[in-house]
Structure 1
Amino acid sequence: MTVRHLLLATAASATFAVPAAQAQEAAPPIPADQAESDGPSSVSAIVVTARRRVETAQSVPLAISVIKGDSIEATGNFNINKLQQLAPTLQVYSSNPRNTSVNIRGLGVPFGLTSDGFEQGVGIYVDDVYNARVAAAVFDFLDVSQVEVLRGPQGTLYGKNTTAGAINITTNQPTFDFEGRAELTVGNLEFRQAKGVISGPLTDKIAARIAIAATSRRGTIFNVTSDRYINEQDNLGIRGTLLFKPNEDLSIILTGDYSRQEPECCGTVFVRVGATQRLLSRQYDALAAAQNYTVVSRNPFDRLTDIDASLRAGNKIGGASLKAEWDLGPGTLTSVTAWRFWDWKPENDRDFTGLSIVSRSQNPSQQDQYSQELRYNYSGRDIDFVLGAFGFKQRIDTQGVEQQGVNASRWNLTGALANDPSVLNGLTASNIQSLKSTSAAVFGQVSWKLTDAFTIQPGARINYDKKSGFYQRVVTTGSGAVLTCPQSATTNPVGAAQCGIYQPQTSAPSVSDWNFTYDLTLSYKLAQDVLAYATYAKSFKTVGINQNGLPTDAAGNPITSAGVIKPESVNHFEVGLKTQLWDRRATFNLSAFRTDIKDYQATVTNGQLGVLRGYLANAGKVRSQGFEADFSIRPTDRFTAYVNGAYTDAKYKEFVDAPCPPELSGGTTATAANPASPAGRPGTTASPSFSPANCDISGQRLPGVSKVSLSYGAEANTPATLLGKDGQVYLGVDGNYRSRFSSNPSPSDYTWIKGYALTNFRLGFRGGDIDVFGWVRNAFDVNYFELLQTAPSNVGLVAGQPGDPRTYGLTIKSNF
């Protein structure tokens, strides 16, 4: 690591300062020895529940970013997808809600494949309720108090084992004093957002709170085929909570929520063409010319597309939970019972063009999950501990359809068959999938204060997981006949060509496994406001199964051994320093980490494109290491500022059979007599190119990870009076920077996303019960990509999703 990288990494902050009155009003009581300074200019206390007890962020020997609800709203980051702009080590990638991955420090889930048969490495919790699928957590934030982003393994504290970190979302709870809030935002791109909250007593022992939010916005890409904008926002969410408090020692909270998203989404634009090793006549430009096809624009930031398949991203999420907390004196017993559902109804254009190559692509899913967690938290003079048990049950059913269109033969076949649209037109693969998953665990963590300064904190977890799945794909031709495979290319060339696109298959993988997780943290208080800590964690990402089909042997039979994925074995090391300076007006935190993973669960391919695009397998070793630093300052009540940053070096240490990038794919399979051709060299009939069956990408960077990432912001205010109300005029700025990152599981010259910096401004007045501000996001109208994707069939086409252009608007909030 260079000195420049180290300096960049140490210029940083994970805590957003809020006015002290707001922080104290929203926070539960904290132990007196952890209370922050009450000086008029000190940074306000940030209270967290990261260790399942109430304490200040600075007293926790853990790398944690705390983002207050007010900061989320002020910066316009209203869902998990946007949250990465405020937390540099968080990476979120989404081509649609189902195909969403959340990683911390580059780790969590493999990039580029949606599969229900394995676990995510980053746990997402809302009011202590675990959300099993990332897709089921892409709702708009609704009445959120704060979000905690915990980095590193958290399995000895949280219900579900989380090997890369956790996102802990806390919502506002019912109050026995009546309160309410209304918020309205309007902006360009026909942006409309309305929020409302009402909370108060129903009786002297029962209080209720209800929150609702609706968001709509015109799409950012214009589709000339449908003559309308796509990738819009159309969201509605509602949450209701009842609090029953029969006495001071017992509280029971019943919560129900529902979220609906129904946008025309999620389409792409043409980005570029890169040469592959296919025959030149079978690459994008030649194939498009042969069908007299010209893309509507080759400049992706014209934001024009001509995709012809219907689009939909219907997403319904909801559930109910019952949480009981009983104060037993020295400790608290907590029970969390929850049910959640997810209903996903998509329609996609998977060829990324205006040609009917893949005419239909949709995999609707329905999930039900049930969870039960019991925890006992004890706090004593010298010992604090958490003991817990967790049970989880999940069922997911999927019904998929993918169909070839009238242009598919020309795109995928050669010779006379390429000129016959009927060979592939209407060829349909229909699949049904089901997954049953059961998990149970006991876990605990002890914090033992050996002296007033030195604390030892061991933790352990025993986890049991069982998964059973079923996958069946039936293939029918355009005439409706059921296709059987394999077919002889000599006696039935049409059937053989069809089998090369889709092959029927049935598999039913199942597995169960135990694993043992443990960790140890040592912390030492060097001074009143200086805490040093060191952590070692041995963790596992649980066993998994392949739910999207299996590779086949030479006879075309599924390789059943490939149905099971071994657990990832994780060794994590971290050291950190937490400090407060200048009468606690400033906070500076620094951490260094290294995570080594053996049997990394990755996406692989084996060239059997008619069977599946890719599957999960254990692929050698991965390492992520780096530095993170956080800095925030509040010299007076009139000015606050923060900057947080990270340097992350995440790479494959050993991945010898990875899928090859497009520039090394598409040719005849290389042999010892015919070694692999240079990257991006198209083949010809007379001189074919040779492609490796798979590629060794050991030493290359993990996808989606920027080496350097920063977020920053500041706000200044001055006293003012508006319409007879005393308050403050304030000016705020916030932004984030990411260096370049790969957008392909195997790094490709064609899918690197350039680094970019986004800057946002807001100017407003707050006073009494109102807050009015105007805002500009991506103020300098930076052109950037959120995601790049390579098209099927390896024709060299790269499509992408541009990030939002400059947006602006006005927000009005009123409290009552």
Structure 2
Amino acid sequence: MTSTLALLLALQVAEPQAGAVPAVEDQAEPTGRSGPAATSAGGDIVVTARRRTETVQKVPIAISVIGGTALAETGTYNVNRLTQLQPTLQFYSTNPRNSAANIRGLGAPFGLTNDGIEQGVGIYVDQVYYSRIASATFDFTDTERMEVLRGPQGTLYGKNTTAGAINVTTRKPSFTPEARVELTGGNLDFFQGKASVSGPLVDDKVAIRLSTSITTRRGTIYNVRQDEYQNSQDNLSLRSQILWKASPSLDLTLFADYNRQNPNCCVQYYARTGATQRPVIRQYAALAAAQGYVVPSTNAFDRVTDVDTDLRARQELGGLSLLANWDLGGATLTSVSAWRFWNWNPSNDRDFIGLPVTTVSANPSQQRQVSQELRIASNGDREIDYVGGLFYFRQTIDTQGLQVQGPAASAFLLNPTSTAGRNSATLNGLTARNTIGFVNTSAAVFGKLTWHADERLSISPGLRVNYDKKDGSYVSVVTNGTGSTNLTADQRGVLAPQSYRPQFDNWNVSGDLTVAYDITDDVHYYATYARSYKSGGINLSGLPNDRLGNPALSVAQVKPEKVNHFELGLKTQFADRRATVNFAGFWTEIEDYQATVTNNQVGVLRGYLANAGKVRTRGLEIDSAFRPVDRLNLYANAAFTDAKYVRFVDAPCPPELSGGTALTAGQQPAAAGTPGPSPDNCDISGQWLPGVSKWAFSYGAEYGVPAQVAGLEGRFYFGYDGSYRSKYSSNPSRSAYTDIKGYALSNFRLGFRAERSWNAFLWLRNAFNKDYYELLATQSGSTGLIVGQPGDPRTYGLTVSRSF
């Protein structure tokens, strides 16, 4: 049986959409209508999570699988939308470059972009590692399935997967001619068009697949100053594949893709204010009043702003890769060669308001990467299965930063009662030009064995030896309004010139051990221990100055994270495989967690990237799917995640404990939100990790009724998908001002599917028009301004697709 939905059922039966990990086997179902095989002949979902073909219920990993049909029908066309289907996945993005994907609360430092460190959630497309998290903001194009692997995957996927991996598989070229077209229209001038075509070029030897996707949407935020909508969408994706079956045992696939985004994006704006320890005259309300400034609305969900800098978030991403598989009989040799590029051309308003405080904030960047992986994996059933390989990766990044202060900067950033603060020329035209270079080289050897001790017991050890070398260069040249590099202390306090060349190199060894036991054919147990590392790095966003005004070179390097992970899992099917319930319990501890910190011992004047002491995340997950009758499918997924700092004694203070005068001998800090002395740093041991909810759920149902329309056999269906996330912190150090309260979202769809041809459905997302924030952040300088990024309002539309 074949199917495009790698979830529960093939097409003719109403499919459970979104987030349901397991498959409910049904051998009687007909072939899927729009894609290559996603299930085996017995109806089990086939995945490649361990770099070999296995059924999802038997692979001893906490894994969620979502097929291409489910992605389309739930409107899940990028990773951000995937979070509504996957309770343990978090994705936060203030713009494509400043994005982070986390699993179980781990992955990347919250709210910080620094090219000198790695992500902790790896993104792989057709076995190629995408080193830029910006790739996660692009539309999924011609996707067969997505696998979300939870927990460390370092043995087979490498140093960038200490929290998990997102493994995307696109549809392959077909030797049977086929084509697909999907058109969607909705409110907010939303349009999305997808198309693909595939067929043979040379008999049964060469086949090609071409696909494209276009997405446009009007912005959701209206700028009253610039008279335009912002936070729009404007995406283009092109993808091609050529498959050559060179011999019965050798096939090669050449991939090429190009993706372009050019939205009027990304604005964050006034959400609320909160008192800090700054003098009252230097907090937001007084600073704004002194310049006669009033925001268009103090209710962020009025969705209006007046930021005065043009916004841009243009990026181009693409590359070439060659995948070769050579069947040697007892084993298959696989080679994955890839070259990729990423070009980033932004423009931001970093004061978040309509005053000309920072008039230019842009960090154009260009990245190139090459990678080569060579693997060998055993074929067939044998007492010992194995996967082994070599991996090489090289990345270069060049960034040209530019920041310019405007005529309102002096009054807003300096003491307004001082001579410098009263003189707009002090900071007007102050400019920093940053030249940043980075070279990242990595190589690894890895292997994993599976010993089938008997028919039910298997033991799987894995090992990876990794070498990393990173070389960087950071040069910031600062000039005043007259173009001179002769700066005053006030000017240097706002934009400090710096020059340094950090380096890092390190060997590390990762390993894991999994014991799996098939209690019955439908009940599977596993236990895993993993020791993983996330590569160390270098600070490439500027260093703190010491008390003498020199860069604190002692903190130019960041040590590797050391991860200890324990997990127990139980995968079950019952009721003639009409019900599937899977459980996972985990406990993960990380030493030398990479975070934004302050440290009084080196006289830090601002935050930077360094190592916190220790963090811990633990929790329970349940994934379930049910098919009580042929017409009805249900799913419910739940995650309890308790993620906190175990030891973080020199963390940056939250806004209510910052911005005041320096402590002197014998002084105590002022009370939170009260002007006076501020602590140099704060001990936040025991506090929540940012960005992760303690409770998260996704749930849904679909009911179908057989029908005939215009001579087409098919069925009408009604579907619902819901999600809930409890309160979470949106600041590295938890603050009363930046907690985001819990919210629930509901999506509906109503449509008709005809076997192997038409699918048309109406959709309604955020049906009850829930007001919620995706994130909250503080304005720099401890002014007390809190800015927000609201989630999408209610949207609705129609999708029509046709398969030929």
- Scaled to the shorter chain, the TM-score interval is over 0.9
2:319 matched to which residue of 1? Answer: 319
1:692 to 673, 679, 685: 679
Matches within 5 A, 1:209-220: 209-220=209-220
- Partners of 1:113 and 1:614 within 8 A in 2: no
User: Are the structure 2 counterparts of residues 527 and 23 from structure 1 closer, same or farther at C-alpha, using a change threshold of 3 Å?
Assistant: farther
Deviations 1:138-158 (A, max 9, x none): 211000001000011111112
- Tell me the secondary structure at the aligned position of residue 768 of structure 2: coil
1:641 to 634, 645, 654: 634
Match of 2:368, as an amino acid? D
User: Are the structure 2 counterparts of residues 156 and 596 from structure 1 closer, same or farther at C-alpha, using a change threshold of 3 Å?
Assistant: same
User: Are the structure 2 counterparts of residues 17 and 260 from structure 1 closer, same or farther at C-alpha, using a change threshold of 3 Å?
Assistant: farther
* Superposition deviation, residue 508 in structure 1: 0.3
Whole-Å Cα distance in 2 between the matches of residues 606 and 159 of structure 1?
31
Q: Which runs of 5+ in 2 are unaligned?
A: 1-18
Whole-Å Cα distance in 2 between the matches of residues 109 and 170 of structure 1?
24
2:660 matched to which residue of 1? Answer: 667
User: Are the structure 2 counterparts of residues 574 and 789 from structure 1 closer, same or farther at C-alpha, using a change threshold of 3 Å?
Assistant: same
1:508 matched to which residue of 2? Answer: 501
User: Are the structure 2 counterparts of residues 701 and 25 from structure 1 closer, same or farther at C-alpha, using a change threshold of 3 Å?
Assistant: same
1:749 equivalent to 2:736? Answer yes
- Partners of 1:332 and 1:376 within 8 A in 2: yes
- Tell me the secondary structure at the aligned position of residue 652 of structure 2: coil
2:222 matched to which residue of 1? Answer: 222
- Tell me the secondary structure at the aligned position of residue 410 of structure 2: helix
Match of 1:799, as an amino acid? V
Whole-Å Cα distance in 2 between the matches of residues 425 and 587 of structure 1?
64
- Partners of 2:36 and 2:171 within 8 A in 1: no
1:763 matched to which residue of 2? Answer: 750
* Matched-pair identity in %: 57
1:708 to 695, 700, 710: 695
- Tell me the secondary structure at the aligned position of residue 59 of structure 1: coil
- Partners of 1:28 and 1:54 within 8 A in 2: no
1:559 equivalent to 2:552? Answer yes
2:13 matched to which residue of 1? Answer: none
* Superposition deviation, residue 677 in structure 1: 1.2
Q: Which runs of 5+ in 1 are unaligned?
A: 1-11, 37-43, 485-494, 684-688
- Partners of 2:24 and 2:577 within 8 A in 1: no
Whole-Å Cα distance in 1 between the matches of residues 655 and 139 of structure 2?
36
Whole-Å Cα distance in 1 between the matches of residues 236 and 187 of structure 2?
20
2:760 to 759, 762, 772: 772
User: Are the structure 2 counterparts of residues 617 and 727 from structure 1 closer, same or farther at C-alpha, using a change threshold of 3 Å?
Assistant: same
- Partners of 2:430 and 2:479 within 8 A in 1: yes
Match of 1:293, as an amino acid? Y
Deviations 1:32-81 (A, max 9, x none): xxx64xxxxxxx42111001111110010110011111111100010011
Answer with 155-164 or 559-568: which moved more: 155-164
- Partners of 1:549 and 1:612 within 8 A in 2: no
* Superposition deviation, residue 26 in structure 1: 5.0
User: Are the structure 2 counterparts of residues 760 and 558 from structure 1 closer, same or farther at C-alpha, using a change threshold of 3 Å?
Assistant: same
Measured on the aligned residues, the alpha-carbon RMSD in Å equals 1.8
* Superposition deviation, residue 15 in structure 1: 4.0
Whole-Å Cα distance in 2 between the matches of residues 664 and 399 of structure 1?
34
- Tell me the secondary structure at the aligned position of residue 497 of structure 1: helix
Match of 2:639, as an amino acid? A
- Tell me the secondary structure at the aligned position of residue 81 of structure 2: helix
* Superposition deviation, residue 672 in structure 1: 4.6
Deviations 1:469-524 (A, max 9, x none): 0000000001111135xxxxxxxxxx111111011000100111000111100011
- Partners of 1:473 and 1:506 within 8 A in 2: yes
- Partners of 1:731 and 1:764 within 8 A in 2: yes
Answer with 664-673 or 448-457: which moved more: 664-673
2:727 matched to which residue of 1? Answer: 740
Whole-Å Cα distance in 2 between the matches of residues 203 and 334 of structure 1?
24
Match of 1:496, as an amino acid? A
- Tell me the secondary structure at the aligned position of residue 545 of structure 2: coil
- Partners of 2:597 and 2:607 within 8 A in 1: yes
- Partners of 2:616 and 2:646 within 8 A in 1: yes
Whole-Å Cα distance in 1 between the matches of residues 384 and 25 of structure 2?
32
Match of 1:390, as an amino acid? F
- Partners of 2:22 and 2:57 within 8 A in 1: no
- Tell me the secondary structure at the aligned position of residue 107 of structure 1: coil
* Superposition deviation, residue 16 in structure 1: 7.2
Whole-Å Cα distance in 1 between the matches of residues 33 and 733 of structure 2?
48
What is the TM-score of this pair, normalised by structure 1?
A: 0.93
* Superposition deviation, residue 100 in structure 1: 0.2
* Superposition deviation, residue 21 in structure 1: 3.9
2:10 matched to which residue of 1? Answer: none
Whole-Å Cα distance in 1 between the matches of residues 370 and 781 of structure 2?
40
- Tell me the secondary structure at the aligned position of residue 512 of structure 1: strand
1:622 matched to which residue of 2? Answer: 615
- Partners of 2:118 and 2:160 within 8 A in 1: no
Whole-Å Cα distance in 2 between the matches of residues 199 and 131 of structure 1?
25
2:515 matched to which residue of 1? Answer: 522
Whole-Å Cα distance in 1 between the matches of residues 106 and 253 of structure 2?
34
Answer with 430-439 or 560-569: which moved more: 560-569
Match of 1:154, as an amino acid? Q
1:381 equivalent to 2:382? Answer yes
User: Are the structure 2 counterparts of residues 45 and 27 from structure 1 closer, same or farther at C-alpha, using a change threshold of 3 Å?
Assistant: farther
* Superposition deviation, residue 264 in structure 1: 0.7
User: Are the structure 2 counterparts of residues 22 and 367 from structure 1 closer, same or farther at C-alpha, using a change threshold of 3 Å?
Assistant: farther
Matches within 5 A, 1:241-280: 241-280=241-280
1:425 matched to which residue of 2? Answer: 428
2:44 matched to which residue of 1? Answer: 45
- Partners of 1:269 and 1:303 within 8 A in 2: no
- Partners of 1:107 and 1:121 within 8 A in 2: yes
1:6 matched to which residue of 2? Answer: none
- Tell me the secondary structure at the aligned position of residue 318 of structure 2: strand
* Superposition deviation, residue 93 in structure 1: 0.2
2:707 to 720, 732, 756: 720
1:466 to 453, 457, 469: 469
2:795 matched to which residue of 1? Answer: 807
User: Are the structure 2 counterparts of residues 419 and 671 from structure 1 closer, same or farther at C-alpha, using a change threshold of 3 Å?
Assistant: closer
Whole-Å Cα distance in 2 between the matches of residues 608 and 408 of structure 1?
30
Match of 1:303, as an amino acid? R
What is the TM-score of this pair, normalised by structure 2?
A: 0.95
User: Are the structure 2 counterparts of residues 226 and 273 from structure 1 closer, same or farther at C-alpha, using a change threshold of 3 Å?
Assistant: same
* Superposition deviation, residue 248 in structure 1: 2.3
